[in-house]
Structure 1
Amino acid sequence: MIKKTILLLTLVLGWNGLRAQRESTNDFVPYYPGTDNKQYLLIAPGTLGPNALPIPAILDGEVGTDNLFRIACDSYFRDGGGDNGHSLMINFRFPVVQNFMAFELQWNLLEYFHTTNEVRDIMQLFKDDPGWTLNRGDLILNTYIQLLQERSFWPAFMVVNALKTTTGSIKDGRATDLPAHWHYMSMGKQLVNFGQFQFRLNAMAGFYVWQTNQFDLEQNEGFLWGLESQFNYRKLELGVGTSGYNGWKWYGEDRPIQLKGRLIINNPIVNYFVEYKTGLQDYYYSSFSVGINWHPRSPFKLDRH
C-alpha cells in the first residue's frame, strides 16, 4: 500500500513539474477561426523573431554604377536572453542602367536558432522548445529608381519599392508566411568634403505595409522613416543612424525603432564590413553581422544625347 501511495505521489508531482515548464497555451488568444497552431502568433515586429518584419536600410539616395554580390553571417540575441541564433544572408543587386535603375534580391537563406519556452510564451508559440532549429528565411525583391542626381544645392533622390515574399517558415515565429511590402524615398547629401574626409547625411521616408492574421485587422501599415550620418576617411566608412516604422493599430507592439551602426573597408572590387543593430522600441534583439561585398561595375550605361 505504501509503495502504491509513493508511486501515485511521484506521478502526480512529476506531471505537475512537466506542466510547470511553461505557461498554459490555453490562454493564447486566437486571431482567426481555425485549429492551426499558427493562429496564435501575433504578426507584429515586437512579437516575432528578429528577421520576420525587417526595417529596411536607409541607403544613400543613389542607384550607383556597381553590381553587388553580398554574403553575410548575422548573429543575434534577445534582450534578457531566451532567444539567440545565426542567419546566413545573401544579396544580389544588378543595375539595369547605371545611375538610373537597379533590381535587388535579398535572401535570408538559413536561420539556426534556439528559443526557450519562456520566450515562446511571450511570442504565443504553441509548440514547446525543440532545441536548436534550422529554418529557411524570407526572400525580398527590391526595385531602385533614380529620380534626381546629387547637385550642389539639392540631395540625391531614389525611389525604393520592396516586396517580401512568403518563402520563410512561420514555424517558431521566424517569419510571417504572409506578404509585406514597403515603399520609400531614399535621400543623401554630402555636406562636408575636406581632403580625404567626407561627411554625408542620408534619410528615408515612406510607408510600410504587412498582412496580419487578426480577424478584424487583415492589414497593418504605417509611416516608415530613418536618418543616418555617414563618415568617410580614405578606405574607411562609418555609418550611424536610427530608423523604424509605425503601425496604426498598436497591435502586438508594432512600432519598432532600431539603432544601427556599420563599418566598411572600401576597396575597388571587394569591401569588408561589420554591422551592429539593436532595438530601441518594439524590437527586442541585438545583432552583429560580418560579411563581404563584391561590387564589379555594371556594363549597362545610360546613353545621353
Structure 2
Amino acid sequence: MIRFNLNLILFIFLINPKIIQCQEFEWWNEKHDWDGTTHWSDYLIMSPKFFGPNAFPIPFPEKMIEETNLDLSFNCHSNKNEFSKDILSKISIPFGSKVNIKLQINPVEYFSMDSVIRDKRFIRDKKSRGFSVGDLLFETKMRLYERKNYELNMNVGLKTASGSQLMNARYTDSPSYYFNIVWFNEYSINQKYDIETGFLLGLYVWQTNLNDYRQNDALLSSFLINFSFKNFNIQNTIRGFKGYIGNGDFPILYRIKFSTNIKNKEFFIFKQYTLKDNPFNTLSFGISSNF
C-alpha cells in the first residue's frame, strides 16, 4: 500500500508540470486554433516583417579598415504597437591590408508589444515583453582590387543561432548567411570636401520552418553616399533584400547618419526609416573608436 502511494505521488509530481504548461498556453491554443500536433514554432513566420528589428541584420557597403575599430551604440526601435531598445557592439580587426574580421552582437535588448502585434506574429508569450540576447554575427571582408580612389571587396557574413526569445519572435534560433561584392569610391573635391560612395550586391540566405521551402534565398543590395566637411559627416544609406517566398521578406531601410570625428573617435547619431517589410523606425546614437 505504501509503495502504491509512493508511485502515485511520483506520477503526480512528474505530470504536474505538463498540466501547468498546458494551462499556461491554453489562450494561445484557442486563439490560433491549434491542431494539437503541430509544434508552436511552426506557426511563426520566418521573415523580417514578423520578427524583431535585429533578427535579420542587413550589411552596409563598407571599405577596408587599417586599425582595430570598436563600435558601441544605443538603439531605440518603435512602431505603433511595439517598442524595443538595445545595445549594439561591433569590433573589426584588420589582418594585414587584405583581410578584415568583424564580430557583432546585441548583448541585451528590452522589448514590449501589445496584443495586436503579439497575435499577428503568433507569439507564444502572453505578456509579450522582457529581455533577450542577440545572435552573434561573424563577417570576413577580403580585398579583391584596389586603386588610388576606389576598392573592390568581397564580404561573407554568418549569423549564428545564439539569440534568445524565439517564443517572442525576437530572434529566429536558426543560422543565416550572406555574401556580397562591395565597390567603394572616394572623391576629394578640395582639401575640405570629400564624397564617398559605396554599392553592395549579393545573396542573403536563411532557414525557414516551411516544409515546401526549407530556406529563403534573397537578392541583397545597398547604396551609400557620404559627404564630409572637415570633421563632420552626413551619410545616406538605403539597403535591403528581396526573398522569393513573398511572406514579408522584402525589407527596405533608409538611414541618415550625422557624425563628427575627434582625434581617433567618431561620435554619431542616426535616424532609420522603414520603407517596406521591416516595421520599425530607429533612433540611435553611439561612439566608434580606433586603436
Same fold flag (TM > 0.5): yes
Letter in 2 for 1:41: L
Answer yes or no: is the 8 Å Cα contact 2:235–2:257 preserved in 1.
yes
Partner of 1:127: 125
Structure 2, gaps ≥5 residues long: 1-26
Letter in 2 for 1:284: P
- Residue deviations 1:131-178, cap 9 Å, x none? x401111110000111112335xx311111000001101131110001
Following superposition of structure 1 onto structure 2, how do residues 101-120 of structure 1 map, counting pairs within 5 Å? 101-120=99-118
Partner of 2:72: 71
Letter in 1 for 2:72: I
Post-superposition offset of 1:117: 1.0
Post-superposition offset of 1:292: 0.8
1:175 & 1:34 partners in 2: Cα distance? 24
Post-superposition offset of 1:22: 9.4
After TM superposition, the score normalised by the length of structure 2 is: 0.85
Higher normalized contact order (CA 8 Å, seq sep 6+, divided by chain length) = 1
> Residues 38, 190 of structure 1: CA spacing in aligned structure 2 closer, same or farther, 3 A cutoff?
same
Answer yes or no: is the 8 Å Cα contact 2:77–2:283 preserved in 1.
yes
2:32 & 2:195 partners in 1: Cα distance? 55
After TM superposition, the score normalised by the length of structure 1 is: 0.82
Partner of 1:48: 51
Partner of 1:4: none
1:268 & 1:36 partners in 2: Cα distance? 54
Percentage of pairs with the same residue:
22
1:46 & 1:73 partners in 2: Cα distance? 22
SS in 2 for 1:120: helix
Answer yes or no: is the 8 Å Cα contact 1:25–1:126 preserved in 2.
no
Post-superposition offset of 1:34: 5.3
Post-superposition offset of 1:264: 1.6
SS in 2 for 1:213: coil
Q: Return the match for 1:222 from 218, 225, 248.
A: 218
Post-superposition offset of 1:39: 2.0
1:276 & 1:24 partners in 2: Cα distance? 40
Letter in 2 for 1:237: N
Query: Are 2:254 and 1:259 equivalent residues in the alignment?
Result: yes
Query: Are 2:45 and 1:26 equivalent residues in the alignment?
Result: no
Partner of 2:200: 204
Q: Return the match for 2:147 from 147, 150, 157.
A: 150
Structure 1, gaps ≥5 residues long: 1-20, 297-305
Answer yes or no: is the 8 Å Cα contact 1:241–1:260 preserved in 2.
yes
- Residue deviations 1:252-298, cap 9 Å, x none? 211111101111211332211112211101111000111111211xx
Following superposition of structure 1 onto structure 2, how do residues 155-304 of structure 1 map, counting pairs within 5 Å? 155-169=150-164, 170-250=166-246, 252-296=247-291
Query: Are 2:64 and 1:58 equivalent residues in the alignment?
Result: no
Answer yes or no: is the 8 Å Cα contact 2:161–2:175 preserved in 1.
yes
- Residue deviations 1:52-92, cap 9 Å, x none? 11221222xx21211111111111102xx111011111111
Answer yes or no: is the 8 Å Cα contact 1:150–1:157 preserved in 2.
no
